[in-house]
Each structure stands twice: as structure tokens, then as C-alpha cells.
Structure 1
Amino acid sequence: MKYITISLLFLFIIIQSCALDEPSITKTETNLNNKVLSPYVAIGNSVTAGYQSSSLVEKHQRNSFPNLISRQIGNGELEHPWVSYPGIPNILELKSLTGVLAPAPGTGIPTNTTLARPYDNLGIPGIVLADVQVATASDNSYSGSAAIDLILRNPAMGNTTVYQQAQMLQPNFITCWIGNNDVLGFATSGGVQPSSPTNSQVFANLYGSLAAGLDTLAEYVVVSTIPDVTSLPFFTTVGPRVAAGIPAGGVLRYQEHGQPISPTHSGTSTAEDLFTYKHFITLLAGQYAAEIGKPSGLWYRDLAADMGIPVSALIAGIQHLDTTQAFGFYPQNPIPDALILDESEIETAQTSISEFNTAITNLADQYGFALVDIYTIFNNIAQNGYHEQNVHLSAAFITGGLFSRDGVHPSDAGHGVIANEFIKAMNAEFDLDIAPVILYPLQAQTAADQETKAEPLHNIQSLKSTVEVLGGKLW
């Protein structure tokens, strides 16, 4: 009996020691100060939807930042277009401890399409700003996103738009984070398609129309700025690794934006250009970066397979391409335009983001909306990391914990951070006392999901859907 008692005591000590790993956080109570934040409707794109690791899947939809906010204000779970595992598209999973990424097997199925009213979370992966008040289906949208049909469910919902479905729910509280894809489609596709972001004046006019509409729909509205491309690991991960392999005095050859391959000319990037982010090699290039310096046509083989044509036909149609030359070191076999953002393309993206954010900020001030400055918040995290509630995150791919496996969409922990930034803005603007989301369980879930400290290698198969859900195309 004595041995059993000692064993149980020893086990208790071990359990208590393990429990110390979880930060001790003082939980506070929410006080809405007699303000009504229901019904709550969320409008946005893939981030609002809870899209992670190239997929819309219930496991992560449950931790979307709108759902986290809804719980904190006492509204419980929002109705989302729940999708069973492995999601739509199939979620990216690590297939081995070496960090190889591929879509999970199986087929995800929407599970609540018969809901007799619009979803509370109207975040639609792939949409652009112009779609919110116009599109009723993918075939009459600007983005062409198939997720519009999944989430709006027309004609069953009366051939209505995102805005009209939000109106049907008679909300008193709305979060609206939209406009990311108006520039990220250009950036994530390396400027291939679309060849430029949405025109800034067009964006301002569209956002002005939407803001005026939101002001009539709900008493409390929160909007957000658009993050800088330099804060996203999709753009900042691969370049420094490639830079380390460029010989002293050597340069990387790349296909310039909108230019055909030439036997005598290409863009050039030095190791310093890549280390200092003067040029970005995107996460899509992960597997192809290993081919640099080799006589390789792997990118073109994968691209041809994605297009459903023989690689010989693809290569025959690209004048001056010679895959017997060292990939990335000769102008005849340069890094393809789709895999790189050069200085001029980065400037184009950042100028658009700045102008978009000016429009969003001015309109938020005009209508008295709460404003979440995600642009500044994410840039600060990229520079200094995130340190709150004894939780420590960074913008590093995989190891940082803020972003999911696709390098663009936030992880569960990232959604917790975003939810708390929205809550801070709401508390300040609307005189509320909403308690913050406790981050540790979300961080623990993210750590379990990532499974490895290795940097996974991406290719067309693993990241094409992410580029497309951000509004871009690779061909």
C-alpha cells in the first residue's frame, strides 16, 4: 500500500510539473456596458472564413477569428459553411518528418448546406472587394471564386450577394476585412495573373460604397487594413535560403515581369538582394529552389502536368527556353516570373497596399467604425515577434507559429492574435470591456498541427490552390 501511495504521489508531482508549461493567465469577464452586439455577421475573404493550410475545414473554421470574437461577446458559435475533413481543397499535411507537404487524401463534404438562412460567417475564400455587393455566383463575379457558390448557396438564398445576405440577418454588429485579394493575387502569382493589383481609385470607390452600406446595416462595425507582403512568410522564407547558395560574385537569373525569355538578357538578383528582401522568391518555389544550378526543367514538368498538356508541348511554345542550362544561372533557363517578385513588383504591391489602407482608414474615420491596423500589427510582429499572455510567436514559416502551412493564412494561434486585436479596437472605439481570447490552447493546437521544425517544401501541387484563393493564377 505504501508503494502505491508513493507512486501516486510521484505521478501527481509529474502532472503538476507538466501543468507549469501552461502560462498562468488572469481571466477577465466581458462587460458590454449595455451595448448589443448581436446578431453578429462577419464579411470577408479566406482569412475571415478560417481558411488554413490551403483548406476550408471545420477543425480550423471553429477557430476563425470571427468565431473566437463571437464566443468572447457571449454569442456562442457562428454558423459557418462547415466542411468535413480533409476540407475543400484538401488540407496540406506533413507526410514525413523531413517536411514534405501534400494535400491529405479523401474528400471533404459541406455538412450544413440546408441551413434555412444565410451563414453568420460570410467570409468567402477568393473574393475581391468588388464581389461583396455584386456577385451572386462564381460565374457573375469578378474573382471567379468557386467558394461563392458554396457559401452563398444561390438560387436557394434568392440570388443574393454577400451584402444582401448580411442584410437578411439584420445584424447589429459586423466585422469586415476585405481587399487583401485585390493585391495578393498579383503578388502571390509573381505578377503573372493578374498582371497588376486593383486600381487604387476603383478600390476607394468600391470601399466607399460598401462602407456606406455597412453603416446602414449595423450600429457597430469593425474594419481592418491590409497586411504588407513583407510580413508574410509566403514571401520571406525561400529567398535567404537561395541566397546562401549563390557563388561569390554570382547572380541569380530570373524572368522579368511580363517579359519573354531571352537568350541574352534576364533580370538579375544578388545574394544581398535576397537576404535584404529587395527581391522575394515565393514559397511556391520551395521544391524548385533545390534545382538551382542544375540543368533542370522540373518547374515546367509540373506546370505542364497542372495544365494537362505534355511538357514537350509547353516547352516548345516558350521561345529560347533551354532546360539543359543550369536553372537560375542562365538567361535561357531563368527563375520563372511566377516564382519571384522583383523590386518593381514589390513597389507596385506596396504602393497599392498603402493606397488601399489610406482609403480604408479614411472611411473608417468618416463612419465611426472601429479600425484594426493589421498592416502595422503584422509588420511589428515580423520585426519583433509577438509576446502577450506569456505566448511567444513570430512570422517565421512553421517555427513562428503565427501562420499555417501555406505561409499566408493565419494558424489557430494567429486567429487568436487577430481576434484580440479586433477586441482591442472594439473596446477602444465602442467603450466595451470584452475579455481577450486566451491564446495558450490555440498555440498548443498550432504546435501539434505543425509537427516539425523543418521547413516544408512547396510546389505547384501544394500551393496552387492558395495562390488561386488569393486571386492569382499561375498560367
Structure 2
Amino acid sequence: MKNFTRYTAASLALVMAGACTYDFPEEKAATAGEADFTKTVVIGSSLSAGFMNGALYNDGQSHSFPAIIAQQMQSVGGGTFNQPDINAEAGYYGLAPDGTTILGRLYLKGTTSPKPAPIVPGQAITPYTGDKSKLNNFSAYGVTIQTAQIPQLGGPASSNPYYNPYYARFASTPGTSTLLGDAVAALGSGSFFIFWLGNDDVLGYATNGADQNDATKPMTDANVFAGAYNNALSTMLAANANAKGVVANIPDVTSLPYFSTVAYNPIPLDATSAAAVNAGFAGYNAVLDALKANLGVTDTDSRKITFSASSSNKIVIVDETLNDYGDEFDMLHAAGAISDAQRAALVPYEQVRQTTSSDLVPLVAANVIGTLVSNNPSLINGVTVPLADKYILLPSEKAEVQARIDAFNEVIAAAVSTNSSRLALVDIHSILLSLKENGAEIRGASISASISPPFGGFSLDGIHPNARGNGYLANQFIDVINAKFGASIPQCNPNDYSGNALPVP
């Protein structure tokens, strides 16, 4: 990620102040209480699959929070916990610009200016070769509440927008079976289950900056979600009348470091550079003054672009909620106030402003801010070239996303309440917000909702917990299970699991 360091150095500071204390309960005789953990089945998305540092790989899978919970359950009768092992040390992060080289998981590279970089080469996603009938964890990256219930998720790959290679690799019958169906089959002979679906019904849309022009990452309609969610959960409950379980809700996206690592004002400029950029925007700002003076436009002052000699300049962005100045610019052009060339140069700036503290900058924007367009030194993304909508979550978009999360969580809470004799709710939404706002202290060591080593609890993709964060998350589930079912599953010590490694040269 080319410009990660420049825009996130402040965020790599250790979060120590204001941390709350995370107390371990007194140990008591181990018991399963009213539950049976002989065979625990998990269904979910990437968060429960062990996806970490932007990839699915061995170490991430082995430290998924369900795997940690299963290990702790062994002292109260828990059985073997099988996951569809990926057998990849580096995993699959994506393809390099050459379209051929496979990039692996992220790691921090560079001692003076550390930045997340993919391991090269990574490994391709390969089919699971173990016994699929013995699997316990049915979780896959990118699964929504609807796609978990359709066979297209497993194939065929060609001309299939729902194809998911992460599920296809361990599907019982690719192209015929469903993720839900496979989990239900396992629960038929199971005893307990963990259900965490719904994150990808909103997360992809949010991480893509709520880009309305990208139809591949929509938010699920709230009514559609309710029907699909209740059907999936009811199907799991019907699979085994004796099985009990826990259900997790959907976190607030603002609690994820993906939306808090890059500041809204991350651009460093020296005096010479700032003066040059300001000179370039002088004509644009003069046009705004003309709109105000001659056409009575009232919002021009907030739309002016200015930079200073500092390390905290704001980003120039496209804001589709702004008044479109296209008509006003045309009026000035028709009146002869601006030339043909000047009117053409104003096209990219018809709905432009600089960021405010109310905007959220996705982590992926660090790859773009400050880079050159077509290697032209005068065309700088986020400075002279407005950053596209997908790289910013506007206040209105943030409100839209949060409203949808609230609606989904109401559905989830109601579903759990309706089946309260068999289900308990893990309020991940509140847990992660608290971690972001207060941090936590675990036996003398801090953990924070950040990617900062050594105490950050999230992996370098800013969305998925690292091993230590998964240990923390596992204990939240264990607390709820113990309280609901009278069990005494011992907590793990998250400090026994690694956080993000320090940068390497």
C-alpha cells in the first residue's frame, strides 16, 4: 500500500490511555451446564472463517475465534473441531497489476516508514481435500444471508455472479449444495452451534465507500434480510431440536479500524508545494466568488479549496450530495465570464469540496491519496484530482449504513428473543464500539481497536481481528454462553496469541 505510512503514521501510536480493565472470572469446576458441546457447528462469513490480513491462510484459520472457543470447550466435553484447512502459508490476497502474480497476506514492511505489503508470491485458492462430512466450521468470505442459501454459491464459476471460491473449495456438492444446507447437515448430529451471518449484507457496501455506481456490492434490503435471516436461523434450529446456540449481531462499521486508520486530513505539504497547489486553485476559487456575487449561490465558501504548509491538509473529494455547479458554470460560460477551456477544466470540480472530520476515509484510500494520474506530476489524487466517491464514506452514507445495520440488528435481536430458550445473543455491535472508545486491559497488557502493533486487535486489513483479537472475541462468546447456559467454559488468555508483528526491513 504505497502511501500507507504517510497517512497513518499517527494511527500507529500505541493506544494506552483510557483503557478499561478486562477481568478474568474466578476459576470454578468445569461444566457444560444446560448445553452440550460434543459437536459444535459454526456458520458465518469471513469473520468466523479465520480470514486475517486480507487473506485466508494457515495461521489465520488456526486462530479463528471459533477454533479458540472449541479449544476452550474441550474442558467441558467439547469434541474435535474440524475446519476446511487452506494449506497455504501466505494465502491469497489478490492478483498483482500484471494479472498473473498471486499476492499473499499482508505484513508490515519497512522500519522507518512501515506499510502493509502483500507477501509475494501468495497461493491460489485450492479445493479442500479432507473429509467434508466431518467439518464443523462452515464459514466463507463474502457470504450474505441470501447467498448462504443458494447453490450458485458453490458453482459453476463461469458466468455466475454468486460463485464464491471460498465456499466452493469445501462445498459438499459444488453447484448443488448450499452453505446453510451443509451446516444443517452437520448440526443434525451436532449439539451446539454458533451463527454469525449478515455482516456481508452491509460491510462490502460500506468498505466500498457506499459507491452507488458499483452494483456488485449493494446493501441487502431490510425486508429481504428479515425474511432470509429468519429462514436461515429457523432452519438451523429445526436441524436438531436438542441443539442450543449463540447468535452474533453486526458491528458498527465505524468501530473497525478500516474506517479510522486514515485521517480526514492526512496530506503533508511543504511551503513550496502548498503555494503551487493554491496557485492552481486560485482560478477555481475566483469562479466560486463569481457564483456568489453574480448568481447568489450561497454555499460557495465551504466549497473553496485551500492548502497550507503542514502535515494535516484535507483531501479534495467528490461529494455527490452537493449542489451540482454544472448549470451555474454554464451560465458564467454563456455570459462570457469564463472561456471554453476554463469551462472544460471545471468539469471535474462541479461537486467538489475538501474533507471534514465527519467524513470517514477507508483504509484502501491510503493506496491512492498522493499518487499521480498517468504519471503527471500536476495530477495528484486527493490534491489536484478529486478523490472518487468509493474512497470516502460521506456523513449521509455513514448514516445510511448505520441505519441499515440497526435494522438488521433489530431483526437479529427479535429472532433470538423468539427462541430465547435455545439461543443467546452476543452483542458484537456494543462490544467493538466499547473496544474502540475505551480499549481494554488484559492481565496487564492493552488491546485496542486498531492495527497498531503490538497492542492492536485487528489485522492489517482493518476489518478482521488478528489472532490476539480473535482470542478477545472468543472470550466475549464464552461469557455469553456461560451466562446463558450455566456453563463454565474457561476463558482463553488473549495475550497467548500474537498480534500484528513489528515491521521488518
What SS does the corresponding residue of 1:216 show, helix, strand or coil? helix
Deviation of 1:131 after TM superposition, in Å, equals 1.6
1:308 is aligned to none
Does residue 167 (structure 1) correspond to residue 184 (structure 2)? The answer is yes
> Residue deviations 1:380-399, cap 9 Å, x none?
11100022333311112324
1:397 is aligned to 451
Does residue 379 (structure 1) correspond to residue 455 (structure 2)? The answer is no
- Looking at structure 2, the residues matched to 139 and 31 of structure 1 have their Cα atoms a distance apart, in angstroms, of 42
2:84 is aligned to 81
Q: 1:135 aligns with which of 148, 151, 160?
A: 151
2:350 is aligned to 265
2:7 is aligned to none
Distance 1:250 1:450, change over 3 A: closer
Listed as ranges, the gaps of 5+ residues in structure 2 are 1-22, 94-103, 270-305, 327-345
What SS does the corresponding residue of 2:151 show, helix, strand or coil? coil
2:142 is aligned to 126
1:183 is aligned to 202
- What's the Cα RMSD here? 3.0
Deviation of 1:358 after TM superposition, in Å, equals 0.7
> Residue deviations 1:25-68, cap 9 Å, x none?
97655311363222111100001100000111111211111111
- Looking at structure 2, the residues matched to 144 and 60 of structure 1 have their Cα atoms a distance apart, in angstroms, of 23
Does residue 212 (structure 1) correspond to residue 234 (structure 2)? The answer is yes
1:432 is aligned to 487
Q: 1:255 aligns with which of 291, 311, 318?
A: 318
Deviation of 1:241 after TM superposition, in Å, equals 5.0
- Looking at structure 1, the residues matched to 54 and 447 of structure 2 have their Cα atoms a distance apart, in angstroms, of 21
Distance 1:359 1:243, change over 3 A: farther
Q: How does 1:148-163 map to 2 (within 5 A)?
A: 148-155=167-174, 159-163=176-180
AA matched with 1:349 = V
- Looking at structure 1, the residues matched to 143 and 320 of structure 2 have their Cα atoms a distance apart, in angstroms, of 24
Q: 2:368 aligns with which of 275, 280, 288?
A: 288
Listed as ranges, the gaps of 5+ residues in structure 1 are 1-22, 302-321, 455-475
1:223 is aligned to 247
- Looking at structure 2, the residues matched to 52 and 174 of structure 1 have their Cα atoms a distance apart, in angstroms, of 22
> Residue deviations 1:192-237, cap 9 Å, x none?
3346411111111111111211221242111111111110111111
- Looking at structure 1, the residues matched to 126 and 369 of structure 2 have their Cα atoms a distance apart, in angstroms, of 36
AA matched with 1:122 = F
TM-score by length of 2: 0.71
Distance 1:367 1:51, change over 3 A: same
| Contact 1:52–1:411, Cα closer than 8 Å, also in 2 | yes
TM-score by length of 1: 0.75
| Contact 1:417–1:439, Cα closer than 8 Å, also in 2 | yes
- Looking at structure 1, the residues matched to 433 and 24 of structure 2 have their Cα atoms a distance apart, in angstroms, of 28
Q: 1:96 aligns with which of 88, 110, 133?
A: 110
Of all paired residues, the percent bearing the same amino acid is: 26
Distance 1:364 1:24, change over 3 A: closer
Deviation of 1:238 after TM superposition, in Å, equals 0.7
The count of residues paired between Structure 1 and Structure 2 equals 393
Q: Point out the more displaced range, 250-259 or 85-94.
A: 250-259
> Residue deviations 1:90-142, cap 9 Å, x none?
21123332323322124437585231515211111111110222235344777
| Contact 2:154–2:176, Cα closer than 8 Å, also in 1 | no
| Contact 1:118–1:166, Cα closer than 8 Å, also in 2 | no
Q: How does 1:317-328 map to 2 (within 5 A)?
A: 324-328=378-382
Distance 1:116 1:243, change over 3 A: closer
Deviation of 1:159 after TM superposition, in Å, equals 2.7
1:59 is aligned to 59
> Residue deviations 1:388-415, cap 9 Å, x none?
3333111123244210010100010111
Q: 1:297 aligns with which of 346, 357, 373?
A: 373
2:301 is aligned to none
1:305 is aligned to none
- Looking at structure 2, the residues matched to 348 and 323 of structure 1 have their Cα atoms a distance apart, in angstroms, of 37
1:315 is aligned to none
Does residue 105 (structure 1) correspond to residue 120 (structure 2)? The answer is yes
Deviation of 1:335 after TM superposition, in Å, equals 0.7
1:451 is aligned to 502
- Looking at structure 2, the residues matched to 244 and 395 of structure 1 have their Cα atoms a distance apart, in angstroms, of 25
2:281 is aligned to none
Q: 1:347 aligns with which of 382, 387, 399?
A: 399
2:101 is aligned to none
- Looking at structure 2, the residues matched to 266 and 129 of structure 1 have their Cα atoms a distance apart, in angstroms, of 36
Structure with the greater alpha carbon radius of gyration? 2
What SS does the corresponding residue of 1:281 show, helix, strand or coil? coil
AA matched with 1:207 = Y
> Residue deviations 1:412-441, cap 9 Å, x none?
011111111111111121121111112211
Distance 1:115 1:328, change over 3 A: same
1:319 is aligned to none
1:46 is aligned to 46
